[in-house]
Amino acid sequence: MDSYVRGPETPVLEQTIEQTFTRTVRKFPDVDALISRHQNIRLTWAGLDREVERTARGLAGLGLARGSRVGIWSPNCAEWSYLHYASSRAGVVLVNINPAYRAHELEYVLRKSRIEAIFLPEADDRAPYREILDRAVHGQDLPLKHSIYLGTDSWSRFIDDGRDIPSFEASPNDVANIQYTSGTTGNPKGVLLTHRNVVNNGQCLAALLGATERDRICVPVPLYHCFGCVIGAMVSINSGAAMVYPGARFHALPTMQAIHEERCTLVYGVPTMFIAQLNHAEFANFDFSSLRGGIMAGAPCPVEIMKRVIREMNCGQLTIVYGQTESSPVITGSTADDTLDHRCNTVGCVFPNTEIKLIGRESLATVPRGEVGEICARGYAIMKGYDDDPVATAEAVDGEGWLHTGDLAVMLPDGYFHLTGRKKDMIIRGGENVYPKEIESFIHQHPKVANVEVVGVPDMKLGEAVAAWIIPRPGCELTEQEIRDFCQGSIAHFKIPHYIRFVDSFPTTVTGKTQKYIIRQQEIEFRGLREAAQLVTA
């Protein structure tokens, strides 16, 4: 039986973000919609609608034409949400810019996206945004006309200079949002997501979570990322659930405080965020009894960590979803009704109105169930393309509409999927295919291990060797021999890490994803493997 499945057919919403938002405002005007704790802002849906209207009028006051690009370069804040919804109301396209970008990356995005207005803070504890912007635009001929600084007189003038919004008829197939993703090589690529893409993905996710206006979602993930602005914002406007922002960026303590004090019912996070909370010195001081579930996604989810979150954070309905920015982002997920084994050991089954197949590395033919193959997806969620990059678009989405994700998985007999890693992350050791996620999941079971990342490093004899970086649990001491003894006889000899290093933290992106290529680079330098790294192979 081939590794192919088609999700259930359900009604596809032919609505824009604005139409979906306005419907929810009318249904739940007095229900909490947005709580930004670090700004002391609390808004009902009616209150949020008033702020969105003022922001949309401000955009109109800038003289932007329909389809103009507007950039938001900021950590999480209420104004981020105002601009997100107001962009749809005003008929402009919102471009999400990673707050970690610096002058070179920012200049590239400003030029590539043809952004006419950018919204940003002047500075915070991580970055002098105004200075970086000045460096990015200095001496450059860019389309940028307006720079509006959040929380300053600049924002106030932007609001005060608002004017009536021109009438227009938006299409669900219009581009609503551009999100930058680095991919594997080269400059970042702008993923074009339509209203239809993100509204329907939000509807599917809301159904998966059973979200209603009675839910309060703790959102510590960054809004510039699909996890925040789709799994967060689009679930909210599809269900009426409130979004709670614990802070501008993720920190474990404010996140736990938000869950405790706001009585959040759902919580989001990448695995490293949950690990930081579970291992925090004050974890036991907080009441998680209001939680019923949430979503762990954005990176491979260790089985043992998920089990701990379910058990220790009262997240009995915690689910895992899988996807990528190019698929708006989610194409598979587990449900609250799935067994614990399914929710902990798989990324669920195919989403509605979506097709998935697994293909071979060489032949591109659909592989039999039970064999590893690359995940390909097709359906409403697939991006419109990469902005002004038809070559990269054709490489990612083939002529039949299949998105080639670059992720490897096994399709189980019951149609659920088990991820085995990225094509580019797979380790080939002496001819054996080694999947880092499998080793990570096993080592996570060691009682002294808090977190682990596995990478391949060059080896003169075997081609590649397995290296593991391990963060011990607080107060625990570990040795390399303990880890090797734990693995011996339980996993194949060629999967046992050859190199082991104990560390306090991993290099991560702003979204909390581990930067494995940095681990690999540091291991090459630390172990003196540069000569092996320069070997040319077929």
Alpha helix stretches (DSSP H) within 114-268: 129-137, 153-160, 195-209, 226-229, 233-239, 252-262
**Which residue in 201, 289, 277, 200 sits closest to 246, CA to CA?**
277
CATH classification number, 40-170, choose in 3.40.50.980, 3.90.1640.30, 3.40.50.1100, 3.40.50.2300: 3.40.50.980
Question: 389: Cβ–Cβ under 8 A, 6 or more apart, which residues?
Answer: 189, 190
Confidence of residue 102 (pLDDT cuts 50, 70, 90): confident
pLDDT tens for 370-411 read 999 999 999 999 999 999 999 999 999 999 999 999 888 999
Residue 6 pLDDT: 98
The Cα 458–Cα 465 span in angstroms is 6
Residue 531: is its pLDDT beyond 50?
yes
Helix axes 271-278, 252-262, angle to 10 degrees: 80
The sign of the dihedral angle between the CA atoms of 396, 398, 403, 404 is negative
Tell me, yes or no, if the two domains 40-170 and 425-533 fold the same way: no
Residue 536 pLDDT: 36
Residue 428: is its pLDDT beyond 90?
no
CB atoms inside a 10 Å sphere around CB 140: 11
State pTM to two decimals: 0.84
Least confident of 10-14, 146-150, 462-466: 462-466
Q: Which two tokens stand for residue 289?
A: 């009894």
Contact between residue 310 and residue 316 where contact means Cβ atoms under 8 Å apart? yes
**Which residue in 193, 195, 261 sits closest to 224, CA to CA?**
193
Q: Quick check: helix, strand or coil at residue 466? A: strand
The Cα 35–Cα 31 span in angstroms is 12
More confident residue, 234 or 168: 234
Percent of the chain with pLDDT over 90: 78
In the chain, domain spans: 40-170, 425-533
Residue 433 pLDDT: 67
Q: What number is the average pLDDT over the span 491-510?
A: 89
Question: 281: Cβ–Cβ under 8 A, 6 or more apart, which residues?
Answer: 474
Residue 186: is its pLDDT beyond 70?
no
More confident residue, 326 or 437: 326
Q: What number is the average pLDDT over the span 465-491?
A: 93
Q: What number is the average pLDDT over the span 506-522?
A: 86
The Cα 461–Cα 338 span in angstroms is 45
2-6, 181-185, 342-346, 521-525: which has the highest mean pLDDT?
2-6
Q: What number is the average pLDDT over the span 80-92?
A: 98
User: For the CA atoms of the chain, what is the radius of gyration?
Assistant: 23
Residue 183 pLDDT: 43
Residue 79: is its pLDDT beyond 50?
yes
More confident residue, 533 or 135: 135
DSSP 99: T
Residue 271 pLDDT: 85
The Cα 244–Cα 232 span in angstroms is 10
pLDDT tens for 357-366 read 999 977 789 9
Q: Which two tokens stand for residue 225?
A: 């990322």
DSSP 265: S
The Cα 302–Cα 409 span in angstroms is 15
Residue 184 pLDDT: 37
Residue 466: is its pLDDT beyond 60?
yes
**Mean per-residue pLDDT over the chain, rounded:** 92
Residue 126 pLDDT: 87
List, edge to edge, every strand of the sheet that includes 175-181.
146-149, 115-120, 69-72, 93-96, 175-181, 189-194, 385-386
Instruction: Go through the chain and tell me how many residues it has.
Output: 538
Secondary structure (H, E, C), 484-538: HHHHECCECHHHCCCEEEECCCCCECCCCCECHHHHHHHHHHHHCCHHHHCCCCC
Contact between residue 81 and residue 34 where contact means Cβ atoms under 8 Å apart? yes
The Cα 407–Cα 64 span in angstroms is 39
Q: Looking at domain 425-533, what is its CATH homologous superfamily?
A: ANL, C-terminal domain (3.30.300.30)
Residue 532: is its pLDDT beyond 90?
no
Residue 537 pLDDT: 32
Confidence of residue 489 (pLDDT cuts 50, 70, 90): confident
Strand partners, 375: 358
